[in-house]
Amino acid sequence: MRSQALDAAFYARPVLAVARDLIGCALTHSGCGGVIVETEAYHDSEAACHAHVGLTARTHVLFATPGRAYVYRSYGIHALLNAVAEPEGVGAAVLIRALEPTHGIDAMRTRRGRDRQEDLCSGPGKLTQALGIDLDQNESDLTLGPVRIAPRAPAQVEPTMVVGPRIGITKAAELPWRFCAAGSRFVSRPWPPGLRATLNGA
DNA sequence: CATGGGATTGACT
DNA sequence: GTCAATCCCATGC
């Protein structure tokens, strides 16, 4: 049986809840995919979010209907994938930072030019390369595909999470808006041991 | 129209 | 640990 894609109502909630709840969900594209193990939340109220500058050609999708993809080029090289969250009119999105690979692993190895499973999707630029996601998927609808996100299996408990500051930003760097599946070896980087706080699923 | 700054990665000292 | 690659786009003249 086919997994259902998460619907617009899932994404229309507060971006921190969406970022937390995407951990454990399955991201797929063109026969490749994996389980999301790391996310970060961005909101127009804080300076690290691209939507902080307001409505522009680049940011309008962040303010659009929830459940769309926001894909942009970073450092001239990498495509980074976000899921637009919050109701229409609020500029917010969840950056997908790492996956545990589950499907199409050989195709990922080919696209990445690496063999180790931990090197395929352990970073926001790596996972888009591994899954073949690029700027053409910007503004596409995650509830319809080709890029899709399926919910956790109903029986599955919410994973234990590690929460900490977001990575690689200079503005609003103090906000603890990064979520990781606790203990996963597929996250982009280890969290600072001293600053970590854990959230239990229930 | 010119400029500068990245939500990164991989190679190298 | 340091650092360059490389391009989109927001901003400012």
Token duo for residue A124: 């926001």
Q: pLDDT exceeding 70 applies to what percent of chain A?
A: 93
pLDDT in tens, A61-113: 999 999 999 999 999 999 999 999 999 999 999 999 999 999 999 999 999 99
More confident residue, A159 or A62: A62
pTM of the predicted structure, to 2 decimals: 0.93
pLDDT in tens, A129-147: 999 999 999 999 999 989 9
In the chain, the amino acid numbered A88 is E
Residue A153's pLDDT is 81
- Taking the CA atoms of residue A74, residue A75, residue A77 and residue A83 in that order, the dihedral angle to the nearest 10 degrees is -10
Residue A95's pLDDT is 98
> Is any atom of nucleic acid chain C found less than 7 Å from the CB of residue A192?
no
Flag residues 97-156 of A with CB < 7 Å from strand C: 135
What is the Cα–Cα distance from A113 to A41, expressed in whole angstroms? Answer: 29
Covered bases, chain B (protein CB within 7 Å): 6-10
CA distance to A11, A87, A89, A177, A200, per residue, from A68 (Å): 9, 12, 13, 20, 29
CA distance to A7, A63, A121, A136, A152, per residue, from A101 (Å): 23, 30, 7, 22, 15
Q: Confidence class of residue A159 from pLDDT cuts 50, 70 and 90?
A: confident
* Cα–Cα–Cα angle for A186, A92, A70, rounded to 5 degrees: 65
The 3-state DSSP composition of chain A as helix, strand, coil percent (nearest 5) reads 20, 30, 50
What is the Cα–Cα distance from A24 to A68, expressed in whole angstroms? Answer: 19
Residue A75's pLDDT is 96
What is the Cα–Cα distance from A180 to A162, expressed in whole angstroms? Answer: 5
Q: Confidence class of residue A60 from pLDDT cuts 50, 70 and 90?
A: very high
Is residue A7 predicted with pLDDT exceeding 60? yes
Flag residues 36-75 of A with CB < 7 Å from strand C: 53, 56-59, 72-73, 75
| 3-state class (DSSP) for residue A184 | coil
Distance from residue A154's CA to nucleotide C5's C1', rounded to whole Å: 44
Distance from residue A169's CA to nucleotide C8's C1', rounded to whole Å: 18
Residue A179's pLDDT is 96
| 3-state class (DSSP) for residue A114 | coil
